[in-house]
Amino acid sequence: MGLEYVKISPGFEKYMPRDYVDLVEFGQFGKEIDVMQMGQFKELVEEHPMCAGCYMAYFIRVFYTALPKPEDTIVLGTAGCARLALSQAAVPFIYGNYGDTNAVASGLKRALSIRFPDKEKDVVVIAGDGGLMDIGFGMTMHSWFRREKFTTIMVDNEVYGNTGGQESGMSPKGIQLKMAPTGKKFDKINAVELAQTAGCVYVARISPTNPKRIAKVIRRAILAARKFGPTFIHAYTSCNIEYSIPTREVLADARQREKKDFKFYEWMTDEVKEYLNEIEKKAKEVKS
């Protein structure tokens, strides 16, 4: 971790694969990148084996662009679709056992702050609705109760996508899925409210229709976690396979959900608000 790790040893520039030379020359390490510049720089994740047209894959692409300091970040994932792309990105990735992500992240974040007391090292968990709200529920909650300083992002496709369509606590009531044919009997868990009650200092719910807003929310969550405590983002990232959404209608679906149960919602404590206002004001001044 650190910028030294993205400097090629002198003499080896000629022997590196082009991908890596491009990452060093045209990548985001050590730079301020705006999400609207996507396509004009070498991104941290490119090839991945997620389904064509998967909205979760799109969200992950925007996520990497939004990282405030990719060279000082560790991403944690687990079983589920997201890790297929997360593990291929040019940012250190740790695979937590299914359900364990937030316990692993707690230990990791604590260890990093002991090892590098004067440096900011960001830890971000990205996992599915099953990983965080079902099987990893206890770990997720306890990382929040204990005020662990890292960000949790739930990529909610309302199903166990990777294992072929079982219902999760986040699936909507009444939904029939391939491996849950009798229909879901109870409501979708209100994850955002739980996060707020459990001690998160910044909470957001988002349907990813606007890349600028996704990036802003991710940045805010990471910056707030550095100083104040746990932060949480609940993102709707539809599964076009399990919910049979044709690829060309994925964005329209996200827009529709944004009008209904995925209305943009953002909440933070007063001290986080003050802190973020200050940072964002400074950034604006630098720009102008």
Partner 1 sequence: MQEEKKVIVPGPAGYNPQPAAFLGVDLPPPGRALLYGEEVDEEVAMREAAKAMLTRKNPTIFPGPLVLWGWNAAAMEKAKAVLELAMEIPNCRIIPMPDYRPKYPKIDPEAEINPNHPNLTILHNKIEACIFVGVHCHYANLSLRMIRAGTNCFTIALCAEMGHEDAMVSLRDQHAEEIRKFKDVLVQVREELSIKWEPKLPPENPSLPKEDWTKVTPFDFGEYAALLMPRKGEVVEESE
Ligand X SMILES: Cc1ncc(C[n+]2csc(CCOP(=O)(O)OP(=O)(O)O)c2C)c(N)n1
User: Using CB under 6 A as the criterion, which residues of the chain lie in contact with ligand SF4 when the complex forms?
Assistant: 50-51, 54, 56, 81, 157, 161-162, 239-242
Shorter beta-carbon distance to ligand X: residue 86 or 215: 86
> Which structure tokens are listed for 102?
């937030």
Q: Which range touches partner 1 (CB under 8 A), out of 6-14, 60-68, 189-197, 260-268?
A: 6-14
Report what 54 binds from ligand SF4, Mg ion, ligand X, none; CB cut-off 5-8 Å by kind: ligand SF4
Strand, coil or helix: what is 212?
helix
When binding is defined by CB under 6 A, the residue of 41, 93, 95, 98 that contacts ligand X is 98
d(CA 220, CA 231): 9
Nearer to ligand X, 112 or 194 (CB): 194
Q: What are phi and psi of 113, to 5 degrees?
A: -75, -20
Sort strands 265-268 and 231-236 into parallel, antiparallel or unpaired: unpaired
19 forms part of the interface with partner 1 (CB under 8 A): yes
Q: What does 269 interact with, of ligand X, Mg ion, partner 1, none (CB < 5 to 8 A by kind)?
A: none
Applying CB under 6 A, among 82, 124, 214, 245 the residue interacting with ligand X is 82
137 binds ligand X (CB under 6 A): no
Inter-residue contact 234 to 204 (CB < 8 Å): yes
Q: Compute the distance between CA of residue 8 and CA of residue 30 in angstroms, rounded to an integer.
A: 15
From CA 160, how far away is CA 173, in angstroms rounded? 15
Stretch of 84-92, 141-149, 238-246, 264-272 lying at the interface with partner 1 (CB under 8 A): 84-92
DSSP string, 129-145: HIIIIITTHHHHHHHHH
Q: Does 93 help bind partner 1 (rule: CB under 8 A)?
A: yes
Report how far apart, in Å, the C-alpha atoms of 136 and of each of 99, 131, 188, 237, 279 are: 3, 5, 16, 19, 33
The site partner of 25 among partner 1, Mg ion, ligand SF4, none (C-beta below 5 to 8 Å per kind) is: none
Please state whether beta strands 73-77 and 93-95 pair in parallel, antiparallel, or not at all (unpaired). parallel
The count of C-alpha atoms lying within 13 angstroms of the C-alpha of 255, restricted to the half-sphere facing its C-beta, is 6
Which one, 35 or 54, has the nearer CB to ligand X?
A: 54
The site for ligand X (CB under 6 A) is made up of 79-82, 98-99, 128-131, 135, 157, 159-163, 168
The site for Mg ion (CB under 5 A) is made up of 128-129, 157, 161
The site for partner 1 (CB under 8 A) is made up of 2, 4-12, 14-21, 47-49, 84, 87-90, 93
